[in-house]
Amino acid sequence: MKYSLFTILLLPAYAVGQTSLGYNLQRYAAPEGSMPAGLYQSNLDIEHTVSYAVRSNTALLDRILNDSAWAAVQGEATARNVVSGSFDNDNTIGQYIHYDGRRKTFGQLLAAGERSIAGRGTLYGMACYRNGNRRDVSLNYAVHPEDYAPYLVSDTLGASTFRQETYIVQAGYSRGVGPMEVGMDIYYEGVAQARTHDPRHSNYSHLMRLGLSAGQAWAHQAVSLRIAPEWNRQAISSTSMQDGVRYFDFYGFGLWNHRETQTAITYGRVQTLRGLMADAAWLYDGAWQWSANVGYHLRRMNTEEGSSYKNLFASTTHILRQQLHVSHRVDDWQVYMQLTAIQGWRRGEECVYEQQVQDAEQGLYDYVKVATNRLYTYKWMNGDVRVKVLHHISPKASIGLLAAVGYDHSKEGYKVPSMHIDIRTLRSTLAAEYKQHRGAAQLELLAYAGMQQGWDCRYSIVGVTNPIQTTMAFIPYQLRGENHQLMGGSIAWGYDLMQNCTLGLRLRADRLHSDYRKVNALSADLFVLF
């Protein structure tokens, strides 16, 4: 979704180019949101897109990693294992999306590796622990709120700090069975979120995705199909020791309806997400390398109130993804081209309840659902084209240039009262990189600049004076359709301590500037590849 565009640009943590160090860090990077990392991203290292496609379709992994016929696709995975410690700090001056927070400060430990045993297959795994704070988050208690919007819940206080602890485990297994390749992968993310001052809030969330894939690989061609059910559950609770605190259920948008809860002391909600992903991939490795990926993603969201256990809101989301990647090598030059398109739409439901008598004699009542309103819709589409040229100056050094353009359009609507938010933007990016490996030392440099231009953006709500409406809808509308400029870069050093063991450090800085905000992001990674 468009919401996290800036984050996506910053992510390729993760913004590295054609480098052994960068790719070895990137291939196991833990995603920020609830969507899988790797494919369908606006990544700068598009020369590794095919490798990401293989890793997203686990069935092909064992064959392609170990078959010399696919050497060109194996990427520069010179190391099978990585252990890293990271520190990230993102700070915003000015406006910001209310549920993201003004400032994010996180530390992370990550360990990942893979192992192949001849005749037995390939096993890979990644474990990541992340701990940090999001400051000045407001009007939201959910983890990954973009999946639950607009049906958020919060209290009436202002912005506050949330502490978050995240545990991520990812593992997969791939092997050949006769002429076929089969694979299984599992992804688990657990997030514990807390606010330690009144009203005290906690949210325990887990997201689980189980992938089953099958494919077939020939000398220069491979196909794969993967199905992955997923589910997410968040147990939200909040307790107030003081008078005067109230809780809001947010629903619809437009007037940013919010309903005050009946109880003022405690509040609880369980919200769930159930989904199914289906992906297909085709790879061809010849004079030209081709990779085509299509995917469909269905998600059904539900929220249940914590004391009465009534379903309050629901939504259904459909997402289609396509990516076409082609590359060609001529002497010391390599050219890559990538087209990516994403379309999605969401419909929201609001359940209506009525108190009805259950036992008149004993005076027992309960709430019974009497109707469902389907008033909210959200549609979006993203298109992206990028081209990259790599030139190997020598066997130990290379330079690269990338150019990209993209188009985004999103539209939210509410039937009664009739309201719309319509945003269109154009993006462009230029990036340059340099890589060298001399003796035991490696160096990688990356710089990029980009811009976004919004046009024909519409916000059809008049007379906005309510601060909740301003925070929840008007400011995000402004920021998503803003004109902004991006720039950033990273520098990474690596030193080979011994054969197959490299110690490294990567520093990254990014900046976004617009009329509404300035965002500075800094990141440092210390890692060992072995």
Partner 1 sequence: MSIKKYLLMLLAMSVYVLAQGQTVLRGTVKSALDGEPIPFATIYAKEMRKGAVADYDGRYELRVDDGRDCHIRVQSLGYQPREILVPRDETHLDIVLDEQSIALSDFTVTAKYLDKVGSDATIGQEALEYIQPTSLKDIFVLLPGGKIGSDNMQNSSLISSRQVGADLSSSFGMGVSVNGVSMNNDGMRIQMQGVTGSSSADGEGNVRVNAGMDLRTLSSDHIESVTVVRGISSAKEGNLSSGSIQVQAKQGASPLHSRVKFDPQNKLAYVGKGFRLSDALGTLHMGADIVRSQSQIEDERGAYNRVSGQLNWNNQRHWAGKVVNMNVLGSYVTSFSNRKTDEMIEAYHEKYNSRYQRASLSSKMKMELGQKWIDDVVLILAADYSDNSLEHHKHVINRTVMPLQHSTEEGESEGIYLPSSYDTYYEIDNRPLNCQAQIDAQKYGMMGERWNYSLLLGSMLNVNKNLGAGAVFDLNRPPFPSSDCIRPRKNSDIPAIAHQAGYAEVKLRHRAGERETNLSIGLRETMMFNLPSEYLLNGKVLLDPRMQGSYTLYHDVRGKVMSHTLRLGWGIENKLPSADYLYPDKVYHDYIALNAYFTDESQRLLITNTKIQNPANPRIDANRNYKIEGGYDGKWNGYEWSITAFSETMKGGVEYFTTYAPASYTYYYALSHEVTGRPTRDDFLSRTMETFMAMRVPTNSARVEKRGIEYRLHIPNIEPLRSDIEVNGAYYHTVYSSGVPVMYRPSIMINDQMYPYVGIYDGFEKEYAENFNTNFWINTHIPDWKLIFTNFIQVIWFQRSHLGTDVSEYPEHYMDTAGEIHPFDLTDDAQLERLRRSFLSSRYNENALPVSLLWNIKATKEFNRHAKLSFFANNVIQVSPKYQDGYAHTQRNWYKPFFGGELTLNF
Which residues of this chain interact with partner 1, rule CB under 8 A?
A: 111, 115, 117, 120, 123, 125, 127, 129, 163, 165, 167, 169, 171, 188, 190, 192, 194-198, 200-202, 204-206, 208, 231, 233-235, 239, 241-242, 270, 304, 308-310, 358-359, 362, 364-367
CB closer to partner 1 out of 106 and 477: 106
139: left (phi over 0), alpha (psi -120 to 50) or beta: left
d(CA 16, CA 91): 21
Rg for the chain, CA atoms, rounded: 24
3-state percent helix, strand, coil for the chain, nearest multiple of 5? 10, 65, 25
Q: In this structure, what is the dihedral angle of CA atoms 130, 135, 136, 142, given to the nearest 10 degrees?
A: 10
CB closer to partner 1 out of 127 and 341: 127
CB closer to partner 1 out of 43 and 193: 193
Peptide bond into 476 cis (omega under 30): no
Q: At its nearest, how many Å lie between partner 1 and the CB of residue 372?
A: 18
CB closer to partner 1 out of 198 and 422: 198
Q: At its nearest, how many Å lie between partner 1 and the CB of residue 198?
A: 6
CB closer to partner 1 out of 161 and 257: 161
CB closer to partner 1 out of 43 and 205: 205
- Which run of H or of E encompasses 284? strand 266-285
At 30, list the tokens: 């833990």
Q: At its nearest, how many Å lie between partner 1 and the CB of residue 257?
A: 24
CA distances from 458 to 205, 219, 454, 476, 478 (A): 35, 52, 11, 13, 10
CB closer to partner 1 out of 207 and 473: 207
Q: Are strands 501-514 and 517-529 parallel, antiparallel or unpaired?
A: antiparallel
d(CA 321, CA 39): 10
d(CA 201, CA 227): 36
Query: Are 70 and 285 in contact, with CB atoms under 8 Å apart?
Result: yes
At 126, list the tokens: 């990644």
Query: Are 162 and 194 in contact, with CB atoms under 8 Å apart?
Result: yes
CB atoms near residue 208 (< 10 Å): 15
- Which letter does DSSP use for residue 32 in this model? S
CB closer to partner 1 out of 146 and 304: 304
Query: Are 418 and 380 in contact, with CB atoms under 8 Å apart?
Result: no
d(CA 118, CA 18): 29
DSSP state letters, 367-387? EEEEEEEEEEEEEEEEEEEEE
Q: At its nearest, how many Å lie between partner 1 and the CB of residue 214?
A: 19
Q: At its nearest, how many Å lie between partner 1 and the CB of residue 235?
A: 4
- Which letter does DSSP use for residue 48 in this model? G
Q: At its nearest, how many Å lie between partner 1 and the CB of residue 270?
A: 6
CB closer to partner 1 out of 192 and 225: 192
Query: Are 404 and 373 in contact, with CB atoms under 8 Å apart?
Result: no
Half-sphere exposure of residue 128: CA atoms within 13 angstroms, side-chain side: 24
Q: At its nearest, how many Å lie between partner 1 and the CB of residue 267?
A: 13
Q: At its nearest, how many Å lie between partner 1 and the CB of residue 252?
A: 24
CB closer to partner 1 out of 4 and 131: 131
CA distances from 44 to 10, 101, 447, 510 (A): 10, 26, 10, 14
d(CA 467, CA 137): 15
CB closer to partner 1 out of 165 and 332: 165
CB closer to partner 1 out of 111 and 432: 111
